Chain A
Amino acid sequence: MKSAVILFPGSNRERDAARALRDASGQTPAIVWHGETELPAGVDLVVLPGGFSYGDYLRCGAIAARSPVMGAVRRHAERGGLVLGICNGFQILCEAGLLPGVLMRNADRRFLCRMQHLRVENAQTPFTRGYAAGQVVRFAIAHGEGNFEADDATLEAIEGAGQVAFRYCDAEGRVDDAANPNGSERNIAGVFNSRFNVLGLMPHPENLIDPLVGGADGRPMFAALAA
Chain B
Amino acid sequence: MKARVVVTLKGGVLDPQGKAIEGALRSLAIDGVASVRQGKVFDIEIEGGDRERAHKTLSEACERLLANTIVENYAIELA
Tell whether A pairs with B. Answer: yes
Interface positions of A (Cβ within 8 A of B): 58-59, 62, 66, 95, 101-102, 104-109, 147, 149-151, 183
- Listed A/B pairs (30) with beta-carbon separation below 8 Å: A58-B66, A59-B68, A62-B65, A62-B68, A66-B64, A66-B65, A95-B68, A101-B70, A102-B70, A102-B71, A104-B13, A104-B14, A104-B71, A105-B15, A105-B16, A105-B17, A106-B16, A107-B14, A107-B16, A108-B16, A109-B16, A109-B19, A109-B20, A147-B14, A149-B13, A149-B14, A149-B70, A149-B71, A151-B70, A183-B14
Give the number of residue pairs across the A-B interface with Cβ within 8 Å: 35
The answer to whether B68 and A102 touch across the interface, beta carbons within 8 angstroms, is yes
A67 CB, min distance to chain B CBs, angstroms: 12
The answer to whether B65 and A58 touch across the interface, beta carbons within 8 angstroms, is yes
| Given contact pairs A62-B65, A105-B16, a sample of 15 additional A-B residue pairs in the complex whose CB atoms are under 8 Å apart | A66-B65, A101-B70, A102-B68, A102-B70, A104-B13, A105-B15, A107-B14, A107-B16, A108-B16, A109-B16, A109-B17, A109-B19, A149-B14, A151-B70, A183-B14
Interface positions of B (Cβ within 8 A of A): 13-17, 19-20, 64-66, 68, 70-71
CA distance A151 to B69 in the complex (A): 11
Q: Which residue of chain B is the closest to A61 with respect to CB atoms? A: B68
CA distance A151 to B68 in the complex (A): 13
B38 CB, min distance to chain A CBs, angstroms: 10
Q: Within 8 Å CB of A104, what residues of B? A: 13-14, 16, 71
A144 CB, min distance to chain B CBs, angstroms: 10
A104 CB, min distance to chain B CBs, angstroms: 7
Q: Within 8 Å CB of B14, what residues of A? A: 104, 107, 147, 149, 183
Q: Which residue of chain B is the closest to A101 with respect to CB atoms? A: B70
Q: Which residue of chain A is the closest to B67 with respect to CB atoms? A: A59
A219 CB, min distance to chain B CBs, angstroms: 34
Q: Within 8 Å CB of B13, what residues of A? A: 104, 149
Q: Within 8 Å CB of B68, what residues of A? A: 59, 62, 95, 102
A80 CB, min distance to chain B CBs, angstroms: 25
A91 CB, min distance to chain B CBs, angstroms: 11
Q: Which residue of chain A is the closest to B69 with respect to CB atoms? A: A102
B70 CB, min distance to chain A CBs, angstroms: 5
CA distance A59 to B71 in the complex (A): 12
CA distance A59 to B64 in the complex (A): 13
Q: Within 8 Å CB of A106, what residues of B? A: 16
A147 CB, min distance to chain B CBs, angstroms: 7
Q: Within 8 Å CB of A102, what residues of B? A: 68, 70-71
A95 CB, min distance to chain B CBs, angstroms: 7
CA distance A101 to B13 in the complex (A): 13
Q: Within 8 Å CB of A147, what residues of B? A: 14
